[in-house]
Amino acid sequence: MCDLPPITGICMLFPNAHVQAPHHLAPAESIATMQQQLSQLRQGQLSASHLSEWARAQTALLQSLPPQFDQVLQDLLNRLEAGALFTEESCSFSQRDIINSLQLWLDKASDRLENS
C-alpha cells in the first residue's frame, strides 16, 4: 500500500504502488527501493516523475557515491521525465532504453557501495 502523505497525490494516482517516502534511507536501502520502483515503472504502476522525484531526494546515497554518479543519474532522470511527455517511443526518447540505463546505473552504484 502507498505510504506517502496524501497531499502528494501519488497515492491517488497509483493506489496499489508500493512506494516509500524518501526520508532517511541508508544508501543500500535506497538502492533496493529504487530497484523496486524501477520495476514498478516498467509495469506501469509508477510514474516517471515520481521515480525521478524520489531518486533526487536520496541525498545519503548520492553523497556516498563519486560525483559522477550524481551527474549521470540527473541526466538519466531528466531524459526519463522528458520522454514521459511522449506517448510513443521516439527516436530521441526511448523510455525502455532510459530504464535500461537506469538499471545499469543501479548495478554500478550497488557495486561501488559494496566495494567501498
Question: Over pLDDT 70: what percentage of the chain?
Answer: 72
Contact 83, 93 (CB under 8 A): yes
- Helices (H) and strands (E) counted in the chain, each on its own, are 6, 0
One-letter identity of residue 56: R
Q: What pLDDT, on the 0 to 100 scale, is given for residue 83?
A: 82
Q: What pLDDT, on the 0 to 100 scale, is given for residue 22?
A: 47
Residue 97: which H helix or E strand, with range?
helix 95-114
Distance separating alpha carbons of residues 56 and 76, to the nearest angstrom? 11
Binning pLDDT at 50, 70 and 90, where does residue 34 land? very high
Distance separating alpha carbons of residues 112 and 76, to the nearest angstrom? 18
